[in-house]
Amino acid sequence: MPFSDYKTALVTGASSGIGAAVVERLCAEGLQVHALARSADALDALAKRTGCIPHAIDVTDLAGVTRLMGEVEFDILVNNAGVDRPGSILKSTAEDIDLILDVNLRAVLQLCRLALPGMVARDRGHIVNISSIAGAYNFGGNSTYHASKAAVHMLSRQLRIDAYGKRVRVTEICPGRVATDIFAHVHGDSAEIRERFIDGFELPQAADIANAIAFAIAAPIAVNVGLMEIMPTLQVPGGLSTTRPESPQS
């Protein structure tokens, strides 16, 4: 559907990285963009730069997001907010698991629950869910994060069934490594972390993900871009590990 047929958008996790880039891209298309994140200062700076409407609300604040969704009819919802805590399930805490599921999955479900009925009633709307290659491929550690993103993948497919017969589109954006500050948020902001994950690599930028989202939104109404997997050219997923037992079987 052309951008001109959409009027309003809500972007979560909008204060930095991919979220901020999506806000900038959608504002450039003339949409009224509502930017939601916890950091009021970062949102205010983004609003001054782009003209977006800032909302300093934690995405897990159900009362806050419910109030906002009741005040504005959103044509576009971009579920971008996400967190991670490194480590396998062997090293996870109960608090780590709850936080990841609250932000990465429960908030997405609640926002979709609040947004989809209006889109169905208006026969117009687009939900964009940011998942991760961690939802499709296994690699070491971050077990709860993998589980949360796999759930978002299945939810994205299911939403189209829930809206069957209506011009409501659902796009899942599945990024690999992107040059954003998420690694600093997870592992700590240090030169060692930047060297480990960012420096010297040829990586997609946040603006590249925003442009991919814009492409999906701008497609003709008869076209639903369901899944876009976006990785660095020099990154490949998957692998197979085999090890010998620590001790012989008795």
Q: What are the residue numbers of the active site? A: 145
3-state helix, strand, coil in the chain (%, to 5): 45, 15, 40
Q: Look-up: residue for tokens 């997609």? A: 204
Residue 9: closest CA among 29, 34, 27, 28: 34
Which amino acid, residue 108?
V
The residue type of 247 is S
* Cβ–Cβ < 8 Å for 48, 26: no
**Contact indicator for 14, 22 with CB cutoff of 8 Å:** yes
- Going by the DSSP 8-state scheme, the letter that residue 7 receives in this structure is -
Cβ neighbours for 59, distance < 8 A, ≥ 6 positions apart = 12, 13, 36, 37, 65, 81, 103, 107, 111
Closest residue by Cα to residue 175 from 9, 17, 3, 1: 17
